[in-house]
Amino acid sequence: MRNFLLVALLLLPSMLPAQNLSDETALVEDDEPEPVAISTEPVRLSFKNRPSLRIGEFANVDFKTKWHLDFLGFDPPKWDAPARVSSLPSTPPTFYLTRARVGLKGSITKYFDYEIERDLRQTFGSDHEWHPWKDNYVDFNAHRWLQVRAGKFKVPLGMEANMSEDRLDFAFKARTTDVLTPGRERGVMLHAQFLKSSRMQYQIGVFRYDGEGADIHGVPTAGRTYAARLTGEPLRSVRRLPRSIRHIYLGVAATRGRMFDGLNGVNGSTFSNFTFFDHLYVRGNRQRIGAELSWVEGPVTIKGEYIHMSEERIHQGIRGENLPDLLSRGWYVMGGWNVLGKLKSSGRPENPLFTGRGFGAVELSARMDVLTFYSGPGPGLPSRSPRAPTILPNGERTWTFGPTWYLNRFVKIQAHAQREWLTDIERKAVIGQNLFWTGVIRLQLAM
């Protein structure tokens, strides 16, 4: 029954374009609701780009779904299965259902937007999901400079972390994003666009915990957390600059929250879940500072991000002494080149396969990602102990590269390889191994 349901859900998006071939050129942004067609019918069901129900001008409901079907290969051919406690690494599966999300998104009157999303991987027996509910929030549009979002959504820190999963440049998120960004959390956030000429946006929020990304086996590691982010294209108004420079997107963000006492420091692990930097004992505040940049010119894309995180270790020495903060630093730079076909700014091909007259678009991309854990100077020799005054640094350098084939607005195929190299050979995740390769061929179905 599960398999039948899985197949039925997977076939759904591929059937939809067949009904709307002529409408393919009228693409809309993914995050925007379907345009309300002028209609005299009070209730209208449409299947333009996705199933959509409209109740006059009062409300609309769009059905959303995202599927990531991954064919994986690991070297060494072992992994620690996610969300499981295991003494021994196991042989990873060749096929892995990484995302199986369904949801609803829409608006009620002009004042409220909402989204509900759930991951169904566990339903299909693929994996244990600590947090199956994803974005679930309501946005109240109080003023054009003030919107209030309440519910569960992404904490505003990290460019890649705050991007929709179906718009990611790589099948693998940067390790910096995976490890140092907070992810989703329940909270309240004020946000809006301002200075529309510069497309500036602010986000200020308070959250119940520090985000699911910082959880350990589903349990939060820090309490109430405050976050703020400012993004946009501030150079747009500087007319003296070349046009290509004026479109640079920049952003800064920060979070601060009080950690729960204990073995709750950030940890580093490879994509195959082998730990190379274990949790440390922490007490005090966790603070993140992030900066982001994106530049798109013609077929070329360059993006980069930097995140610095500090975690206090008050009274965490073996004899109760204060220890220097645990510091974590990550950054990445990526470049993409649209070698075949053309991509729109929305990330969709101009000439889609099946639904248009082309073959879609192909982009080659590569990313370098560096993640480092260390501490301020303390007494004694650097050590890997979770109560070490001076932490012996460890880090990971990751290269990710490969092509992405955008077939049409619904389907994307990515063939990416990832090379992870650990700097501290003595704290290697697997005996005799500090180099890890992962390959993935991902079929993405999304609407």
Partner 1 sequence: MRNLAIALVLTSLAVLAFCSQTFAQTQDDLFNGDVLHEIRLYIAPEDYVTFKETNFLCQTQDLEALAGEVISPLPRVVCHFPVEFYWKFNGTYVTLPQASIESHGKGSRSNYKPSFKIDFSRYESRNTFLGLRYLVLRANTQEPSAMHERVAMEFFRKMGIRAPREAHARVFLNDQYAGLYTMVEQIDPIFLQRNFGEGDGRLYGYEWVDYWTFDYRGPDSLKYSPLPLKPENNLIYLDPQPIVEMVRTINEAPDAQFSSVLSQYIDLPSFFKELAAESFIAEQDGIIGDYTLNNFFLYRFAGTLRSIFLPWDKSNAFWAIDRPIFHNFSWNLLTRRALAAAPDLIAFYRDSLQQAADIAGGPGGWLEQEITKEAEQIRQAYYDDPLKLCDHHATGYLRPCTNEEFEAEVAYLIQFARQRSAFVQAQLNSGLILQ
Based on the shown chain and the rule CB under 8 A, indicate whether residue 298 belongs to the binding site for partner 1. no
Stretch that binds partner 1, among 29-37, 73-81, 324-332, 408-416 (CB under 8 A): 73-81
Pick the closer one to partner 1 by CB: 267 or 351.
267
> Which CA distances in Å does 307 have to 161, 290, 429?
12, 4, 23
Stretch that binds partner 1, among 58-66, 318-326, 342-350, 408-416 (CB under 8 A): 318-326
Based on the shown chain and the rule CB under 8 A, indicate whether residue 125 belongs to the binding site for partner 1. no
**E strand residue ranges, 112-209:** 112-119, 133-143, 146-154, 184-194, 200-207
- The size of the interface with partner 1 (CB under 8 A), counted in residues, is 36
Which member of 21, 43, 45, 83 binds partner 1 (CB under 8 A)? Answer: 83
Separation of alpha carbons 267 and 216, rounded Å: 9
The phi and psi torsions of 165 (rounded to 5 degrees) equal -60, -30
Least Å from the CB of residue 88 to partner 1: 5
Site string for partner 1, 98-117 (x = CB under 8 A): --------------------
Least Å from the CB of residue 262 to partner 1: 8
Pick the closer one to partner 1 by CB: 234 or 386.
386
Least Å from the CB of residue 86 to partner 1: 5
Based on the shown chain and the rule CB under 8 A, indicate whether residue 388 belongs to the binding site for partner 1. yes
Burial class of residue 195, CB neighbours in 10 A (0-12, 13-18, 19+): middle
Q: Are 203 and 228 in contact (CB under 8 A)?
A: yes
* Enclosing H/E stretch for 4: helix 2-15
Least Å from the CB of residue 132 to partner 1: 14
Stretch that binds partner 1, among 15-23, 74-82, 296-304, 335-343 (CB under 8 A): 74-82
Of the candidates 200, 106, 99, the one whose C-alpha atom is nearest the C-alpha of residue 144 is: 200
Which residues, other chains included, contact 426 with Cβ-Cβ below 8 Å and sequence gap of 6+? 384
Instruction: Determine if the peptide bond prior to 33 is cis (ω within 30°).
Output: no
DSSP label at residue 391: B
Separation of alpha carbons 194 and 145, rounded Å: 6
Separation of alpha carbons 236 and 154, rounded Å: 27
Which member of 196, 217, 240, 243 binds partner 1 (CB under 8 A)? Answer: 217
Which member of 5, 11, 146, 219 binds partner 1 (CB under 8 A)? Answer: 219
Based on the shown chain and the rule CB under 8 A, indicate whether residue 377 belongs to the binding site for partner 1. no
Q: Write out the binding residues for partner 1, residues 228-287 only, by CB under 8 A.
A: 261, 263, 281
Least Å from the CB of residue 179 to partner 1: 17
What's at 388, amino acid-wise? Answer: A
Of the candidates 173, 217, 185, 177, the one whose C-alpha atom is nearest the C-alpha of residue 81 is: 217
Which member of 395, 427, 444, 447 binds partner 1 (CB under 8 A)? Answer: 427
Site string for partner 1, 15-54 (x = CB under 8 A): ----------------------------------------
Which member of 3, 38, 85, 345 binds partner 1 (CB under 8 A)? Answer: 85
Least Å from the CB of residue 87 to partner 1: 4
Q: How far is CA 29 from the centre of its chain?
A: 18
Q: Strand 394-406 vs strand 411-422: parallel, antiparallel, or unpaired? A: antiparallel
Residues that bind partner 1 (CB under 8 A): 76, 78, 81, 83-90, 128, 216-219, 261, 263, 281, 316-320, 380, 383-388, 426-427, 430-431, 433
